[in-house]
């Protein structure tokens, strides 16, 4: 297994896709029930393969990541050969960067003395998706471009 197995809740949300996946493996609903009881190791392997396929699709599509706490946020733009990062830190207690209001506070006060900004880049290697997945395991989430682009335009 390349990534991690999807949670029970994720499998439930992807039930239709999982059913189609089983069909591509020529496994009917009845056969799936039999596999789960009579050959659980085969059923487990199918769950792992499906999980990896879902992760690959999500990671291939990921263009932005965010990892936020109350007083700091890491915004990452994923490009073809590199990741660009903007790290913003604000004084503790002035706003909560996990909330929309806190992010707006950051944008409105970007020039304040207490706001610290750092930028950086990292080259993506052959294991692009593994690098992105590692960031997700550290708490990053796949995000839209809004905060990264807003910060990036203010930094320039």
pLDDT in tens, 140-155: 999 999 999 999 998 8
**What is the predicted pLDDT for the residue at 126?**
83
Do 70 and 126 belong to one domain? yes
Q: What does each C-alpha distance from 3 to 19, 30, 68, 152 come to in angstroms?
A: 21, 28, 23, 31
Do 54 and 79 belong to one domain? no
Do 55 and 72 belong to one domain? no
pTM, full prediction:
0.86
Residues of the chain short of pLDDT 50, as ranges, are: none
Q: Which positions ≥6 away from 9 have C-beta within 8 Å?
A: none
Q: pLDDT above 70 covers what percent of the chain?
A: 100
Parent domain of 57: 8-61
Do 46 and 79 belong to one domain? no
Do 75 and 133 belong to one domain? yes
Q: How confident is the model over 99-115, as pLDDT tens digits?
A: 999 999 999 999 999 99
| Contact status, residue 137 vs residue 3, Cβ threshold 8 Å | no
């Amino acid at each position: 297994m390349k990534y991690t197995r999807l949670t029970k809740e994720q499998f439930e949300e992807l039930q239709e896709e999982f059913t189609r996946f089983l069909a591509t493996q020529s496994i009917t609903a009845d056969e799936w029930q039999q596999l789960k009881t009579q050959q659980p190791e085969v059923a487990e392997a199918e769950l792992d393969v499906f999980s990896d396929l879902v992760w690959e699709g999500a990671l291939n599509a990921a263009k932005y990541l965010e990892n936020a706490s109350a007083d700091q946020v890491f915004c990452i733009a994923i490009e073809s050969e590199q990741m660009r990062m903007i790290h913003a830190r604000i004084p503790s207690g002035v706003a909560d960067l996990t909330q929309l209001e806190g992010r707006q506070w950051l944008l409105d006060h970007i020039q304040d003395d207490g706001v610290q900004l750092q930028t950086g880049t990292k080259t993506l290697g052959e294991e692009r998706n593994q690098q992105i997945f590692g960031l997700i395991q550290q708490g990053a989430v796949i995000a839209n471009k809004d905060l990264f682009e807003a910060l990036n335009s203010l930094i320039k």
